[in-house]
Structure formats: structure tokens, C-alpha cells
Structure 1
Amino acid sequence: MESLNRNSLRNIKPQAHLEIPDPSVLDLPEKVLQFGTGVLLRGLPDYFIDRAIKAGLFDGRILVVKSTSRGDTDAFDRQDGLYTLCVKGLENGSTVQQYLIEAAISRVLSASHQWETILQAVKQTDMRLIISNTTEVGIRLDKEDNPLAHPPRSFPGKLLAVLFTRYQATQGDPTKGFVIIPTELIPDNGERLRAVVKEMATRHHMPEAFLSWMDASCVFCNSLVDRIVPGKLPAEEQEKLEQQLGYRDELMIQAEPYRLWAIEASDPRVEAWLPWAKADAGVVLAPNITRYRELKLRLLNGTHTFSCGLAHLLGLDTVLQGMQHPSMEAFLRQLMFDEMVPVVVSPEISREMAETFARKVLERFANPFLKHHWIDITVEYTAKMRMRNVPLIKGYYQQFATVPAAMALGFAAYLLFMKGEANGQAIVGNWAGKTYPIRDSQAGYFAELWKNAGTQQLVREVLSNTQLWQEDLTHLPGFAEAVQSNLEQLMQGQVEKVLRAAIFV
């Protein structure tokens, strides 16, 4: 069996659900610079650019910079940047199974070994777009970094070097800047990246004319990405699929059908320089993307956080199992539609928009092809509860002045999940005779509290801890009492009973 590459592409036999690119697209020039080789980039931004290429809306490919020293670029070299994206899941009630040979990536170059080649490439003025995903810690100032090093150590340092190289190559031509779209999962990622790059340039006394060019000619866009991209398929599943498709693919990855890339495009140059954005409804260009961030943070991430502890107590392993459990599925619906949607609705977010997004979330939860484990969602449980869910609890009280039943149960389940004991360097919990890891920065605090406090004291101590929540949640009428009542019943093992009591069935 041949491996996927430029030469074997012509020999792949057409079949249902397999999309094969025209070999001519492999000769398109490089017009996008991408920092990062991760599966999220390949499964979302690169997917959208591939859509546009195949639709005839964009005539360029992606030069990828591998920023870290881990691993190598050999697989990309062997496959000429080609890889299969397996899109599997539910979309508008129908099962989707598509196998797309993605041809958007031209080359993958190592920053450690091929930095000069990268800098030569960015002198080509056809290249107008820079995208990145270097993890959340990538957008920070490294005071010891040198943007003139080969290569600079940090991502902002590398980006600054790229911009300065372009400035010098074009002699400061104001029409030859870049649109820069980071996809790191932090708020205002474009603004934060611009601030870090500008501070680094100032610290290294780079020319004022260059700083002015960067301000006037380069557009940094905030963006939000949303797609579950688990990455590689299980080995046995991949082997069967390769037999079906007729080729080997070291770079094959899987993604769900849902996709969103919301890009803040208040500058008219953004739309002009991103013609590929019209290729798929999942790309949204908007003057402000706050509504998309709020919907994702509250209705997707917030639902996960309110539900993961309860699902664990029920003995459910995956999110799909939660959707297959009648009481848990009813809880999720009540939580989202009766308690969260009313809070999310605002002048920017209509009820119809919020309910449509909530229905889409439930469809994503029911994806039969994904194994999203509840225990993984509990990582940094406390921080997620504070950022995602405390504003929802407060918002519900502001609207209805009463206890949100599902939220109170979700919070009680969180407290019980956090009941752990030290085991060497780790804190572990025990439920129904099985131990589980508590991977939370506050795990030690909760272990000590559970050891020394009764349930009433524990609930009030936690809710009144302003260091955890930035305010005293015992001031919410009836919330502490509801959480305590739920917690005591959960501790007795009456998980199904208390769950049924909390939902309107």
C-alpha cells in the first residue's frame, strides 16, 4: 500500500465520502505563514483554507513553522504536507462521515534549523496572512529573548523578526503588511499579541519608523476557535480506514463536524485580505466577537463544568454516556435551556441565538464517534467554576431572585468530587470504591477542609471564600442551603434520586 504524497495522489481511487484534491493545487504559491503544527490548526484554520482553495476562492498555500524542538518534520516531508481529515459526528440530526485529503499545507520548516529559509520566504509580498496556535503560554513577553537571534526563543520574538524582515525587504511599503490572527485560547488574543510584540520591539530599541509601519500596516485580529479535534485515530481504527481508502497516512486526524472561527474584523483590510473566509459558513468575520466567546464560554464550557462532577458520581465515563443516560440528559437540557440561556441573553445575544447554540452543543455532546472523558473536564475544576459558572449563578439570581436548581446541584457535585486525600505528591478522591485524580490547584485546600469540617461548615466556608470566587456567594439567598442539601444526599449515594428531584420530569 502506498503512502499518501504528491506522487501517489493520482493513484487514489475515488469513492464515496472521500474528497481528493486536484494535484494542480500543490503548485500554488505560499501566501500564509503559520506558527504551529498542532491538530487544532490542521483541523480548523487549515481546513477552512483548504475549503477555499478547492472552491477556487483562494490561490495560495500555507508555509508552516514548527516552533518547538520536540519531534521532527519528517512525516510532513514524506507526505508533501498532505493529510486526511476524518470528519465524523452529527450535524443537523444526520450522521456525517467524510474523509478529506487536505492540501493546504505546502511545507513545514523547523525554526531551529531552517530559520533563514523562513525569513527569506516572508520577503515574498504575496504572503499576507499569519496565523498561530502556540498554546496559551505562547503569548507572553520573554524579557531574555532576542528578536535578532537565529531563531528567537519565543513566539512573539519570532513574529517580531518576521515583521522586521518584511519591513526591511519592502523598504517600509505601507501596503505590504500582514493580517495576523492568533488562535490561542485566551481572550483578546490579537490585542495581547500586538502588545507583547510592540513591547519587545521597544525594549530592543528597534527603529521608530518600523514601529510606525507595524502600527499602520499590520492588523492584529482577536479570534475565537471552536472545534473538537481529538487528533490521531486509535491504531486499529486507522489501520482499517487505511485499508478502506487505499493508502497509508501518518498524519491522519479526526474532527467533529461543528466548526467555528470567529475573527474580529473591524479593519476593512481584513475582509479584503481574507477572500477564503467566504468558503465556509463556519468562518465569521465580525466587528466584535464577544457574543461568540460568551456563547462558547457559558453554554459549552459552562455546561461541561456544571455537569462533569455529577456525571462522575453517576459512574459515567464519557460525555456521550451522559447523553445516553435519561436523567443526565434531562439535567443537561434543563441546565442549559431553563437556567443558562435566560442569563446569556443580552442586547448582543438573542434568545433564538442562544437556544440554537444550546441545541448545537447537545448535538455535539451526542457525537457517537468521540470519546470525551468527564474526568478530563474536571482538570482545574475550581478555576473553571469561577470563570465560567459563577457569573451564571449571579446572573440567574439577578433575573429570578431564586435558587437555580440545576446549578446548585452541579455545585454540590463539584464539592463532593473535590473530597480527596494526599497520596504521595498527588491528591486523589474515592467514590464507589474507585480512586480518581483531583488535578486542581486548590486540591490541597479542599482535602484539608473535608478532613476537618462538617458539611454545613464546609459549604459555607467554600462559598464565602472570596479568594476563590472574588466575592461571598453565601449572600445569594438560599444557595448555600440548596447546595448543602444536595451535597448531603449525594454523600449518601443517592445520586440518581437527587438528580431526579432537581429536574422537571
Structure 2
Amino acid sequence: MQLSKATIADIQNNAIEKPEAALFLLPEKVLQFGTGVLLRGLCDYYIDKANRQGVFNGRVVVVKSTTQGSTDAFAQQDNLYTHIIRGVKDGNTVEQTIINAAVSRVLAASEEWDSILACAANKAMQLIISNTTEVGITFIPEHIMEGVPGSYPGKLLRWLYERYQCFDGSSDAGMIIIPTELLTDNAKKLRDILLQLASHNRLGEAFIQWLQNANSFCNSLVDRIVPGKASTEDTGYTDDLAIMSEVYSLWAIESSDGKVIERLSFAQTDTGVVVAPDIYKFRELKLRLLNGTHTLSCGLAVLAGFATVKEAMADKAFRKYVETVMLQEIAPAVTGSAITAEEANVFGMQVLDRFANPFIEHQWLSITLQYSSKMLMRNLPVLQQYYSKFGTAPRHIALGFAAYCCFMKSVQQEDGKYSGTVNGRTYAINDDKASLLHIHWQKSSPEAAVKSILSDEKLWHQNLDDLPGFTAAVTQYCALINQHGARQLIQNRL
């Protein structure tokens, strides 16, 4: 039995949360660029939850921008999909299955552009959201009135211009625009690109003023692990669009505008949606405590022989390392006027639950992708803040840097790619700086290689050897990893 409106009544599993018929009659209020699992598992989850409580009362028109794949699965299932939520919260296992009815239509830009533009005439439309990857928010000088624009900003600008014309430039027709791409100040970047593109297309000063003043561009941050397609084998029906996510979810939206807050009424129904004048602390907590801890731990985990995050977190000694580096070194470094110690600790405990999620297979090796740039962006600022506050080398962060150095010791393959070896196993190194690290490891001794790596301003934009005691700590841990192995070092609790 295939999931659809017609078959909902035949689903006998009472544990599945099914939509009431009234939800299908709600007006379309949201234009969403992207069919991906993150949008469906986070933003559309919040909208569907609010609709069920009679709060937001609006559905989503999804724009499929790419030419890859088709919209057939959405059409066959009347745009319904199963959302399975599994994970750990406050130490307890949580399982929930929902049939999401937030999406009303999925329109392919390449084939249904006129239908997408027709949505601009819908007075009920209020909100535009997107997740087109970071590359999607890029200025491409194109003529947006000629066929289907190629870029996401081009498509969005063409749609907004259509709305401007449909409502004769009325300020009441302005939209709330919330990109969820993982870029700092993502809405500001998108707005600036739209203004540049509007000027390039000579759309007129009146439209540019409407674009700037009638529309609200809100920076946002999203955080939820949605690995991808899920199985509905145990539900009694087939769903080609089923997804699974962790329990934790966050959509932080930056705005202090009363009208925006009123329209984003779905925020009332879930504490995971936060509308605040400044989302800096949410971004900083995620980047440092979650992403930074992942990055400091990934090389160490691979060297210790752990394949997945949940496997490593089941090991008491490794979990202790993760907990200590996050809560005793990263958290104290980032707390201050913007982030309290309590906020950092609460977020950190949530991260530990998320890392230990037994339902998600998160590969450590995949986390090492572009390891060098992640260390630079996520952990170097924390290292600097730690030294500024305490003046000494943070031991667990130093071990994370040592694991990075050891992980990046490589041989070059015939195809020009680089790989490392641990305990007789070979692993791929996918990093733009792999060749540079390979050169550093040609030094006369491991000590010289580590000093050379930490001194390289091309890697760190500064000389880390200048930090008192840091090179010595990293060098010592590298020697211990080489002598005893990462697993033994962790077991000995450093």
C-alpha cells in the first residue's frame, strides 16, 4: 500500500500520527526553494506541527530548482511523507512517527515556471525559505526575464518582481525571506545579491525600494541531523519519501520586527524555533561546541579505530574525552557576556545526547572531509580565546590538534590522492591542504614536522608555535599516539 490521501484511513498503526482532512484545505502561505531532507525534517516539521495545533494554518509550495530527479514521488503520494524521529533526550530514548502534510505542491522550475510565478499573485503568501547549499547564494549576472533564471537568487528575484507587479508595489505584499543555508549573515548576503542583480537587470528604483523596504530578510541558523531516506517497513505502507531525523531541532531566526514575529506563529508551538533580535549565541554554540568538538574528535576517533560516532560514544574513555574537551575547555573559552556558562553547559549536554544517538550511523571519516579548513574555522578561535582567558595550553584541545597532525601524515597514491594508515588499515584523506601536510611530514623528525605544521601561517593565518606551551603539548601527544596508539592513550585518560 502506497502512502497517499486515499490510503491514510487504511493505516492501522495507532502509533503513527496521521493528518486530519482539514489540513489539506489550508491556504498556501510558504514558497520553499529546495526539496531536501533538512527542509522537510526541520522547517516543514515545524509548520506541520503548528498546523495540527491550529496556529500557523498554511501550507508549503516547494520549488524543485535542479534538473536532477523528478517530482513523481511527491505527486504519487499527494506530497505526503513519513518523518521518523529517533534519538536520545535527557538520557531517554525517544521514537515518534509522523505523516507530514505541510507540503501542498512540488513544482519543477524547469517545467512549471509559469505555475511558480502564478503563486506570486496569491495574497496569502507570506514566507519564503530556502536551502540551496552555500554555493546557491552566489551572484551570477544573468537576465532574469528571459526564461527560467539559472541561479537561486535569479529565480527568487524574478518571483519577487512578479509579486511587486501583481500588487502594484504595495508594501503589504512584501515577504519574509529566511534562507537556511549554512552561511553567517545568510539573509544579508542574499539581500545584497538580489539588489545587485536587480540593478544588473535595470528593474527600476521603485522596485529596488520595494525590495529593500517591503520585504524582511532574516538571518537564520538551522540545526538538526537528518541523515536521509528512511524505511517504512514496519508501518504497513510504502513511502518513497520517508525520512528520519534526530530528536533535537533548532531554527534560530533573527528579527525584532513585531509583524515578522506575528507571521512566524509556528514559533509558538515548539521551543526549537527561536525568533530573537540577535542569533549570535546560537550560531556560536553550534559552531564551537557541536561542530568544533566533532572536528577535534574525528581524527582521534579514526586513529583509535572507531568507525561511527555512536560506537565511539559507547566507549566510556572516548566519551570522557569528548565531554571534557567540550565542557571543560571549549565552553569556558566561549562563555562571556553573550553566552552564559549555564547556556553552554545545557547545550553541551544536549550535544552529548545527540552524539550518542543509537539510531544514526554518522561516520567519523566523513567528518574529516576538509579537516584543515574545519580546524581553522571552528577551533582556532576557541584556542585563541582559551589562551586569552587562561594563558596556558588546553590539554584536550592540544590532543585534538595532535590527532589532526597524525591523521594527516600521508602517502601519495598514483592518482595523486593522499591516504593515511593506522593499524594496517588505509583511509582516504580528502582535504585541500593534504599536499601541504604531506610536505611538512617530510621533515627530519616527527618533532620537526609538528613544529613545521603549527608554524605554518598558510594553514592557521598565524604562527601557533608562538602560543606558550602549545607546540610542546601537541608534540608530546603525537609521540604518545605513535608509541602506544590513540586507543591506548584515550584509555589511559591522558
- Tell me which residue corresponds to 2:118: 120
Deviation of residue 10 (structure 1)?
2.0
Deviation of residue 494 (structure 1)?
3.1
| Correspondence 1:215 to 2:205 | no
Q: Give matches, 1:118-157, under 5 Å.
A: 118-143=116-141, 145-157=142-154
- Tell me which residue corresponds to 2:32: 34
CA gap 1:398/1:162 in 2 versus in 1, 3 angstroms: same
- Tell me which residue corresponds to 1:44: 42
Find the aligned partners of 2:201 and 2:257 in 1 and give their Cα distance. Answer: 28
| Correspondence 1:280 to 2:270 | yes
Q: After superposition, what is the alpha-carbon deviation per residue over 1:11-50, rounded to whole angstroms, capped at 9, x for unaligned?
A: 222412x100102211212110000000000000000000
Find the aligned partners of 2:82 and 2:167 in 1 and give their Cα distance. Answer: 37
Q: After superposition, what is the alpha-carbon deviation per residue over 1:61-107, rounded to whole angstroms, capped at 9, x for unaligned?
A: 00000000000000000001100000001112211111100000000
- Tell me which residue corresponds to 1:476: 467
Find the aligned partners of 1:501 and 1:325 in 2 and give their Cα distance. Answer: 13
- Tell me which residue corresponds to 1:265: 255
Deviation of residue 447 (structure 1)?
1.4
- Tell me which residue corresponds to 2:332: 342
- Tell me which residue corresponds to 1:170: 167
Moved more, 286-295 or 444-453: 444-453
Contact 1:403 1:477 in 2 (8 A): yes
Moved more, 273-282 or 489-498: 489-498
- Tell me which residue corresponds to 1:13: 12
What amino acid sits opposite 1:226 in the alignment?
D
Q: After superposition, what is the alpha-carbon deviation per residue over 1:112-142, rounded to whole angstroms, capped at 9, x for unaligned?
A: 0000111011211100100000001000101
Deviation of residue 461 (structure 1)?
1.3
| Correspondence 1:417 to 2:414 | no
| Correspondence 1:495 to 2:478 | no
Contact 1:116 1:150 in 2 (8 A): no
Contact 1:131 1:183 in 2 (8 A): yes
| Correspondence 1:466 to 2:457 | yes
What amino acid sits opposite 1:208 in the alignment?
E
Contact 1:421 1:447 in 2 (8 A): yes
Match of 2:307 among 317, 332, 338: 317
What amino acid sits opposite 1:195 in the alignment?
D
CA gap 1:167/1:453 in 2 versus in 1, 3 angstroms: farther
TM-score of the aligned structures, taking structure 1 as reference length: 0.96
> SS in structure 1 opposite 2:374?
helix
Q: After superposition, what is the alpha-carbon deviation per residue over 1:402-426, rounded to whole angstroms, capped at 9, x for unaligned?
A: 1111011110000010011111131
- Tell me which residue corresponds to 1:4: 3
Find the aligned partners of 1:202 and 1:51 in 2 and give their Cα distance. Answer: 40
- Tell me which residue corresponds to 2:199: 202
Contact 1:30 1:127 in 2 (8 A): yes
- Tell me which residue corresponds to 1:60: 58
Contact 2:307 2:365 in 1 (8 A): yes
Moved more, 454-463 or 85-94: 454-463
Find the aligned partners of 1:278 and 1:117 in 2 and give their Cα distance. Answer: 32
Deviation of residue 501 (structure 1)?
5.2
- Tell me which residue corresponds to 2:76: 78
- Tell me which residue corresponds to 2:430: 439
| Correspondence 1:108 to 2:94 | no
Moved more, 444-453 or 96-105: 444-453
Find the aligned partners of 1:453 and 1:502 in 2 and give their Cα distance. Answer: 30
What amino acid sits opposite 1:92 in the alignment?
D
- Tell me which residue corresponds to 1:181: 178
Deviation of residue 327 (structure 1)?
1.3
Find the aligned partners of 1:169 and 1:221 in 2 and give their Cα distance. Answer: 24
Contact 1:35 1:131 in 2 (8 A): yes
Q: Give matches, 1:390-409, under 5 Å.
A: 390-409=380-399
> SS in structure 2 opposite 1:57?
coil
CA gap 1:254/1:453 in 2 versus in 1, 3 angstroms: farther
> SS in structure 2 opposite 1:328?
helix
Deviation of residue 497 (structure 1)?
4.0
Contact 1:111 1:151 in 2 (8 A): yes
Find the aligned partners of 1:453 and 1:370 in 2 and give their Cα distance. Answer: 43
Contact 2:303 2:485 in 1 (8 A): no
TM-score of the aligned structures, taking structure 2 as reference length: 0.98
| Correspondence 1:292 to 2:289 | no
Deviation of residue 204 (structure 1)?
1.3
> SS in structure 2 opposite 1:96?
strand
Deviation of residue 482 (structure 1)?
0.8
Find the aligned partners of 2:272 and 2:228 in 1 and give their Cα distance. Answer: 20
Deviation of residue 465 (structure 1)?
1.2
Cα RMSD between the aligned structures?
1.1
Find the aligned partners of 1:110 and 1:453 in 2 and give their Cα distance. Answer: 58
Task: Please list every run of 5 or more consecutive structure 1 residues that lacks an aligned counterpart in the other structure.
Answer: none
Contact 2:50 2:269 in 1 (8 A): yes
What amino acid sits opposite 1:490 in the alignment?
I
- Tell me which residue corresponds to 2:476: 485
Contact 1:10 1:23 in 2 (8 A): no
Contact 1:262 1:284 in 2 (8 A): yes
Find the aligned partners of 1:76 and 1:453 in 2 and give their Cα distance. Answer: 60
Moved more, 467-476 or 171-180: 467-476
- Tell me which residue corresponds to 2:347: 357
Task: Please list every run of 5 or more consecutive structure 2 residues that lacks an aligned counterpart in the other structure.
Answer: none
Find the aligned partners of 2:256 and 2:408 in 1 and give their Cα distance. Answer: 44
% same residue: 46
Q: What is the total number of aligned residue pairs between the two structures?
A: 493
What amino acid sits opposite 1:181 in the alignment?
I
Find the aligned partners of 1:195 and 1:155 in 2 and give their Cα distance. Answer: 14
Contact 2:313 2:356 in 1 (8 A): yes
Match of 2:419 among 401, 413, 428: 428
Detail structure 1 runs of 4+ shifted over 6 Å in the superposition. none
Deviation of residue 148 (structure 1)?
1.0
Q: Give matches, 1:229-268, under 5 Å.
A: 229-233=226-230, 238=231, 241-242=232-233, 244-268=234-258
What amino acid sits opposite 1:130 in the alignment?
I
Find the aligned partners of 1:439 and 1:61 in 2 and give their Cα distance. Answer: 41
Find the aligned partners of 2:493 and 2:139 in 1 and give their Cα distance. Answer: 47
Find the aligned partners of 2:455 and 2:256 in 1 and give their Cα distance. Answer: 42
What amino acid sits opposite 2:14 in the alignment?
Q
- Tell me which residue corresponds to 1:22: 20
Find the aligned partners of 1:425 and 1:254 in 2 and give their Cα distance. Answer: 37
